Structure 1
């Protein structure tokens, strides 16, 4: 059984996994207009242009929450070719994998500590152009909280 508190350790293991692939993991600090408290993303793989939201469980509630977070964050990031992925501690039920891939979101899950499996969607999620002003997010090192 995985707990929500495992989320940080899982993110750290995935960051190490990315570093072994010579990828750089960062976070985005997003300050939407009219909001005083910034949004902090979990992980952003610079080389893959992939925004990942990590969840401590692979339940329906966690997957649905992660989808919402990814969609919310992504509309504030002006990154051409941005991809979305949900990072989970275990393989979710097939129905939830279909939900993610139908939306164009990759499912990344840990098979054993520090080993990850990826289920890519047949067609990646594509951000639709929006008519709003984007405040440039500030990247930061993974694991570093920004105030």
Structure 2
């Protein structure tokens, strides 16, 4: 009987110790340093406010670089979930209300900021560009 109790006690201690070593969820949903900007299917995109860098400030021309984070629904856990996404750079022309995604394989690409068009490539580009401008300058771009 004593052996069985000791075995049970050791098993519980090992099991509880193993549970304490499991990684904590790295969700940024409640982190004030992130803003939810876009949702597409099982993916939710966040803008990392701490990552925004002002690369050019020459009104009405601006350049901001940002990092986004993609999180997936709990049923689709991927290891990449805890890492920030790629860095995106945007050129803004406030007078003409145009935004371009800078660089990449396809060069500079204009982003349609009209209210009717929601899809862009990458999917979060329009939302990230508009959110970053609002976070930095406190006014909406469009």
Fold similarity call, TM over 0.5: no
Structure (1 or 2) with the greater strand fraction:
2
* Larger-Rg structure: 2
Q: Report the TM-score, using the length of structure 2 for normalisation.
A: 0.28
